[in-house]
Structure 1
Amino acid sequence: MAHLALSAARRWAGLPHAARIAIIYIVARTITTLFLIAAASASTSLSRFGAEPGLASFVLGWDAQWYWTVAEYGYPTELPLTDSGEVAENAWAFMPVFAYVAKIVGMPFGAWGPGAFLISIVAGYFSCLALHRLLRERIGRGAATWAVVFFSAGPLAAMFQVGYAESLFLLLLFLALDAVARRRYAWLYLLVPVMAFTRPGVLAFALYLGLHGILRWWRRRDDPLPSSHVLHIVAAGALATVCGFAWQVIAAVATGDPGAYLATELSWRRNWLAGGVEGFVPFEGWIQASQFWFAQWGMPQAWGPVAVVLIVGGVVATLLCSRSVRALGADLRLWSASYLLYLLAVFFPQSSTFRLLLPISPLWGAVAVPRSRLWRIGVLAACLLGQWTWIHAVYALGNTFWQVP
């Protein structure tokens, strides 16, 4: 048995890393499929998917319906209104790239759904390759491979198999982070605009580029900073900033309403807050949400903002002090900090929070750094348990906005 295990280990080590990651990814997708089948069996008439839905229903469920709407009908030129006269939920909250690419890919099948599934699952595999490339020179090939295992089998792994834009965005993001790390800034002129119109978040990348530029200037004696790099960093940062606000301008021009995009985004927040929302104020969402959730849990609302401060302090301490996080290098820590600050500024935390944390997936590298086999197997078990819990909650039981992926 020991001889067979050693032989298998040698054959595994001899495979190209792309083949190893493909095997890991296929196994992970098989497990996720089994979880989705189990969720379909557990679904009842009380679920939004009905009793025993097919897997295609899950692919087209929740926000995938909005991407399908964009692909089939485009964006409204007149904003829909609620009975109270406020802007209602509409397609302007969803970027066009994934929707239209899925439509093109789905044309041979005569339907949008197969195209969306193929884009998600293929982009998921290539994002695993890109993540491995991003991490392997920082933490070693073995730890990078384990990071890919955790990433591909993590609690939100169903995103690789449904009609959401996350897989495609993660692929573009990992490629952009790798381009910055390797000083191949010219690639950003292609990647940044596509990222910006795939899903929100490119403003966080603009902040990251600014911090990256400051870091490089600070370390210019040890890491020379030629003028060409300065020009690329400034130009790419400006491009990311312009692209980050472009969708708001496009929505304003198309609808004739200067606040169309922000009003659309706030329409989802109104589902959570009694009395509605008057307007967008940076960082206010987390304060409102903390008070809302503490009230739901029967705890004093005043404790909510205190909890937010403690969470932010804990995250900052982890990014600055954790040895395993520091092993990822300054750039990935700066990206994680930039994206988390972006979420803190614009997001109202609720059931979608876990999905919106996917862009900090390079931090799986920090989880993979410890060499203990028991630790890694334990993390994998926790990932699979979390994945089933999440799939069961949002697909088998999902019937209200409390359980949105």
Structure 2
Amino acid sequence: MPKVGYVRIRSLARSRPAASAGPPLRVRPPGTGAPRDALPALALFAAVRLAGLLAVVLTNALADKPLVRGLAHSWDSRWYLHIAAHGYGHLIWISPQGTVQTDWAFFPLYPALIRVLTTTLPLTPGRAALLLAWTAAGVAAYGVHRVGRHLYGRAVATALVALWAAVPQAVELTVAYTESLFAALAAWSLYCVLTGRWLWAGTLAAAAGLTRPTGCAVAAAVCAAAGYEAWRGRGRVPARLWAGAVVAPLGWLGYVLWVGARTGDVLNGYFTVQTAWDSRFDLGAGSLRFIKGLLLHGGNVVYPAALLIVAAGLLLFALLCLERVPLALLVFSGVLVLLVVGGSGSFSSKPRFLLPAFPLLIPMARALVRAWRPHRARALVVYGALVLVSLLFGAFVTAVSHSPL
């Protein structure tokens, strides 16, 4: 394995990332990116998301809806809470199309953690689920900052966290869903890849694979980065690199095979369960049908907004490719974008599937930093507008719209 020197970032606005298919992963000197460096970014993240929570509280009050029930017992949250209380195999739902939807479609780590909290603390399942989601959101924001700090320096890292807090679908960090937990595990797994902590990267990827179906994106990122490093080292790589690559997909594969065994079809059982939820990879056929129907017949405001968010995700991925970011970030974001565009299912849910793909915001974060000194007022206006849109959209989809989150 070739030795890698330290890197000193002299100008945050002019710094360049490690190439996705060129230089090896770089390691910063000890002390760089200390926790105190992240405090301004984390404070801004907390302020934006607290404002989002207050917007949801106010909207719930105006709509005469109970707050905790609206945040902890909506859509998928009810399935997670039921699994936490009763385990798997005790809840089914007959869809309007007559398909039998079972709780095996939901991955186990989040409900297991809810069960642990309700067992050890005097919390209801709903409050435990919210505590987990909010705590994981903060851990995820810190992980996002560490990734940005490692690659570009403090200014870009702060901008990256600020932008992630203000994306329209960031309200999902406020409700009892798995996005916060998944984003936290993904961000720290990617950070471990960038810093050469391969066994930790694989372990966190395996945990992400037990959290969401899209956990395969984290495993793919770890395995791709490990394979690239092994190729660069011509096979002379530490055993922990191979161990991380082997461990990374075990969480996702383990649950998929377990569901298959329960259904009597080890290899295809899980995908049959997902098909009953109209969730399958159809190379974008479902997305094209949705867009055609939306253009011909219109729909709830949530659906055009979801289409714009997905289109923005595609554009940002193209810009990310031009940034020559490390391979792990590119693979992680690319797999998530591919699953969103190529998968079927409710289109209103697609924006939240893109929420953990924080590397997509790197081009915007770097542009924001470049514009900060010469055009500080304009940068503040643009960011303020993003925050306002995020707050309004989040309040609407959680407390007003009846579309699936």
Pair in the same fold by TM > 0.5: yes
In the alignment, the residues of structure 2 paired with residue 78 and residue 39 of structure 1 have an alpha-carbon distance, to the nearest angstrom, of: 31
What is the correspondence of 1:24-35 to structure 2 with a 5 Å cutoff? 24-35=44-55
Greater Cα shift, 243-252 or 27-36: 243-252
Q: Which residue is equivalent to 2:18?
A: none
Q: Would the alpha carbon gap of residues 144 and 312 (structure 1) be closer, same or farther in structure 2, given more than 3 Å must change?
A: closer
Work out whether residues 203 and 241 of structure 1, in 8 Å CA contact, stay in contact via their aligned partners in 2. Answer: yes
Q: Give the drift of 1:111.
A: 0.8
In the alignment, the residues of structure 1 paired with residue 404 and residue 346 of structure 2 have an alpha-carbon distance, to the nearest angstrom, of: 12
Q: Give the drift of 1:267.
A: 2.3
Q: Give the drift of 1:404.
A: 1.4
In the alignment, the residues of structure 1 paired with residue 77 and residue 108 of structure 2 have an alpha-carbon distance, to the nearest angstrom, of: 12
Q: Give the drift of 1:23.
A: 2.1
Work out whether residues 89 and 103 of structure 2, in 8 Å CA contact, stay in contact via their aligned partners in 1. Answer: yes
Q: Which residue is equivalent to 2:248?
A: 240
User: What are the Cα deviations for residues 290-331 of structure 1, in whole angstroms up to 9, with x where unaligned?
Assistant: 1233123218xxxxxxx9xx999856643333xxx33x4444
Q: Give the drift of 1:357.
A: 0.2
User: Which one of the candidate residues 338, 341, 345 is aligned to 1:341?
Assistant: 338
User: Which one of the candidate residues 294, 300, 303 is aligned to 1:296?
Assistant: 294
Q: Give the drift of 1:74.
A: 1.2
User: What are the Cα deviations for residues 67-103 of structure 1, in whole angstroms up to 9, with x where unaligned?
Assistant: 10110121117966568763x2221111111112123
Q: Give the drift of 1:172.
A: 0.8
Q: Which residue is equivalent to 1:386?
A: 389
What is the correspondence of 1:368-387 to structure 2 with a 5 Å cutoff? 368-370=365-367, 371-372=370-371, 373-374=376-377, 376-387=379-390
Pair 1:106 & 2:118 matched: yes
Gaps of 5+ in 1: 1-13, 44-50, 271-279, 300-306
Q: Would the alpha carbon gap of residues 82 and 23 (structure 1) be closer, same or farther in structure 2, given more than 3 Å must change?
A: closer
Q: Would the alpha carbon gap of residues 255 and 81 (structure 1) be closer, same or farther in structure 2, given more than 3 Å must change?
A: farther
Work out whether residues 217 and 331 of structure 2, in 8 Å CA contact, stay in contact via their aligned partners in 1. Answer: no
Q: What is the alpha-carbon root mean square deviation over aligned residues?
A: 3.1
Q: How many residues of Structure 1 are paired with residues of Structure 2 in the alignment?
A: 352
Work out whether residues 95 and 197 of structure 1, in 8 Å CA contact, stay in contact via their aligned partners in 2. Answer: yes
In the alignment, the residues of structure 1 paired with residue 161 and residue 228 of structure 2 have an alpha-carbon distance, to the nearest angstrom, of: 28
Q: Would the alpha carbon gap of residues 192 and 380 (structure 1) be closer, same or farther in structure 2, given more than 3 Å must change?
A: same
In the alignment, the residues of structure 2 paired with residue 125 and residue 335 of structure 1 have an alpha-carbon distance, to the nearest angstrom, of: 21
User: Which one of the candidate residues 335, 349, 352 is aligned to 1:352?
Assistant: 349
What is the correspondence of 1:3-402 to structure 2 with a 5 Å cutoff? 16-43=36-63, 51-76=64-89, 86=99, 88-107=100-119, 108-216=121-229, 220=232, 224=233, 227-229=236-238, 231-258=239-266, 259-269=268-278, 280=280, 282-284=281-283, 286-298=284-296, 317-321=318-322, 325-326=323-324, 328-348=325-345, 350-370=347-367, 371-372=370-371, 373-374=376-377, 376-399=379-402
Q: TM-score, normalised by structure 1?
A: 0.76
Q: Which residue is equivalent to 1:404?
A: 404
Greater Cα shift, 287-296 or 116-125: 287-296
Work out whether residues 206 and 238 of structure 1, in 8 Å CA contact, stay in contact via their aligned partners in 2. Answer: no
In the alignment, the residues of structure 2 paired with residue 361 and residue 256 of structure 1 have an alpha-carbon distance, to the nearest angstrom, of: 38
In the alignment, the residues of structure 1 paired with residue 396 and residue 217 of structure 2 have an alpha-carbon distance, to the nearest angstrom, of: 30
Q: TM-score, normalised by structure 2?
A: 0.76
Work out whether residues 35 and 388 of structure 1, in 8 Å CA contact, stay in contact via their aligned partners in 2. Answer: yes
Q: Would the alpha carbon gap of residues 23 and 241 (structure 1) be closer, same or farther in structure 2, given more than 3 Å must change?
A: closer
Work out whether residues 92 and 251 of structure 1, in 8 Å CA contact, stay in contact via their aligned partners in 2. Answer: yes
User: What are the Cα deviations for residues 108-137 of structure 1, in whole angstroms up to 9, with x where unaligned?
Assistant: 234111111111111111111111111113
Work out whether residues 168 and 198 of structure 1, in 8 Å CA contact, stay in contact via their aligned partners in 2. Answer: yes
Q: Which amino acid aligns with 2:386?
A: C
Q: Which residue is equivalent to 2:13?
A: none
Aligned to 1:398, the other structure's residue is in SS state coil
Q: Which amino acid aligns with 2:321?
A: L
Greater Cα shift, 344-353 or 287-296: 344-353
Q: Would the alpha carbon gap of residues 189 and 330 (structure 1) be closer, same or farther in structure 2, given more than 3 Å must change?
A: closer
